[in-house]
Structure 1
């Protein structure tokens, strides 16, 4: 016959005994109580963890912003990572020069000398994804020669808004001879300017005691965006990067699509996504330096989204107009958007912008953060001198 236990409470009020088996359950309760306390503590600590999504279309500068943040927070790179950057700089130079060579052919231009033809032929034999050993002194010399001496290359360079090429192409060309040296050690600027396409999801932890920020960076190209949905839970803020200089250029993955038009569409989709309707958005208009240089020669009206612009064309007026167009994309709570104008290649721009973002996040979450800090101090988990 199956026993139906008769559970009785001891006089202490906390312990139990089964009258049929005599099993004392206080030890089990104690373990469960300890687990409960640990879970409660972890829950309080989690309130001091801030998750930020770093979003934007391809080549907006997201990875550049992240690299700057790592340097600001003194997160050192491994030797393997440094070597990856060296290889990337060399590949960037080769890829961009081969694009210009292809455009010389596409525009049916002629190289001005047999030497230029030979050097172009040498480069076209190489794939920019080949091993680092293929990038020899002769390759660097060919890139340098064509950039400095070939008029057909200079001519297609002036037409670069009509085809895709990396924004920092001229930086790679100007420094290619330095990149090939045996003792080459990348500078901070080299790290920032190197272009490595982001694939997958990259999480970076930045500690600003007592808070811990997790910045989540995902690839901006269209085929990478399907992965974004996996990052949408428990987001405290969004940093959205927009490439200002993209108003007159095309996408890598679709050379019929204007970069700025793509960016506006993507911003609207993110800002009005049901998951983010009350999430603070920090919109960083990047590459302000390139934008300022471009608008001297080509009006922002070449972009379909800005065709109604009729202002004087100076930097501040153009920036205000572009900002207005982005603000118009918001369907709710326009006050949750803060705008910054930056050139991510300059550390000071990122440092001041990041400090402003952190300060604003603290203000927006002040009550909950202060409550968590107070509780952790009371439990001896934080020093009394720690402040928000």
Structure 2
């Protein structure tokens, strides 16, 4: 059974030449044209990579460069994160020392090691800064002569790249009046869960940058982000070719220092560049380009790092 409507029906007459129809047609055309112009000025960038490869640091850099940086209130929000980074890293060092059977040279640092391991960070009692005793313990242990030997075996345990920076700055950070600066924020490590979007302008472009969780448990959330993506930035930490991942455990300065101690050819026998950091970096970039069987446009770039973190804004 069907329904037919005659074009001669007085109630359903359609005048294709009416001014109203033309106006609607023009309006639709104008909207399509405006949308096309708008989309040409929009850029959707997806940040991908493993945990601690630098994705969130790039987002922070975009805020500093394109959004006038962080307000005092925003900086203060990182305070507890930085405290946690310091305590977690100090405890990781102590656990590694015991696992590797490397004891402190200075007797007092044995006692300090116990204090560090037993310390529990109270998130409700840090308006006055870090506990002065734990600050002294971390500073003393960090300067113990055994520490270089521990760090030489850094591939055997997980330690965040910015741990050394925070240990060097622990006295300043422990003060009651401490307010994180932008370098502290760039160094701070927070596990990215889910998807976060950052919007900013760069010239005539309106950029939407999406940071997604790098841990394997987060990767199932990536797929729907690929719709209408303009560019993908895939981040890789060059210095982690011999390291365990955070999600599996229990960048250039670091890479350069590591090459003589942990030869790249140990993991990639076909590599023949020795300890030359540029040759090693180019080799790793070449390995990625060999996976580009679809011949997509790739623009590889590597950045100088400070404690493994891309803190140099002029390179971003």
Normalised to the residue count of structure 1, the TM-score between the two structures is: 0.70
Q: How far does residue 218 in structure 1 lie from its aligned partner after superposition? A: 0.7
Which residue, out of 241, 246, 263, partners 1:299? 263
1:127-206 to structure 2, matched below 5 A, reads 127=120, 130-131=123-124, 133=126, 135-148=130-143, 150-206=144-200
CA contact (8 A) 1:101 1:153 kept: no
**Cα gap change, 1:57/1:131 in structure 2, threshold over 3 Å: closer, same or farther?**
farther
Q: Distance in 2 between matches of 1:84 and 1:320?
A: 38
**Cα gap change, 1:49/1:106 in structure 2, threshold over 3 Å: closer, same or farther?**
same
**Residue 14 of structure 1 aligns with which residue?**
18
Q: Distance in 2 between matches of 1:83 and 1:108?
A: 38
- Bigger relative CO (Cα 8 Å, ≥ 6 apart): 2
**Cα gap change, 1:161/1:129 in structure 2, threshold over 3 Å: closer, same or farther?**
farther
Structure 1 SS opposite 2:18: coil
Structure 2 SS opposite 1:213: strand
**Residue 348 of structure 1 aligns with which residue?**
314
**Superimposed CA distance per residue, residues 186-217 of structure 1 (whole angstroms, 9 cap, x where no aligned partner):** 33322211112211111111212322111111
Q: How far does residue 84 in structure 1 lie from its aligned partner after superposition? A: 2.5
Q: Distance in 1 between matches of 2:277 and 2:102?
A: 35
1:89-100 to structure 2, matched below 5 A, reads 89-100=82-93
Q: How far does residue 89 in structure 1 lie from its aligned partner after superposition? A: 1.9
**Superimposed CA distance per residue, residues 69-127 of structure 1 (whole angstroms, 9 cap, x where no aligned partner):** 22111333244431222222221111111001111221234445663233222222234
Q: How far does residue 299 in structure 1 lie from its aligned partner after superposition? A: 0.8
Normalised to the residue count of structure 2, the TM-score between the two structures is: 0.85
Which residue, out of 48, 67, 71, partners 2:64? 71
**Residue 309 of structure 1 aligns with which residue?**
271
1:135-284 to structure 2, matched below 5 A, reads 135-148=130-143, 150-255=144-249
Structure 1 SS opposite 2:241: helix
Q: Distance in 2 between matches of 1:132 and 1:333?
A: 55
Q: How far does residue 129 in structure 1 lie from its aligned partner after superposition? A: 7.8
Q: Distance in 2 between matches of 1:142 and 1:290?
A: 26
Q: Distance in 2 between matches of 1:77 and 1:230?
A: 30
**Cα gap change, 1:129/1:311 in structure 2, threshold over 3 Å: closer, same or farther?**
farther
**Residue 99 of structure 2 aligns with which residue?**
106
CA contact (8 A) 1:245 1:290 kept: yes
Is it true that 1:320 corresponds to 2:314 in the alignment? no
CA contact (8 A) 1:87 1:132 kept: no
Q: How far does residue 316 in structure 1 lie from its aligned partner after superposition? A: 2.1
Q: Which has the larger helix fraction?
A: 1
Is it true that 1:51 corresponds to 2:44 in the alignment? yes
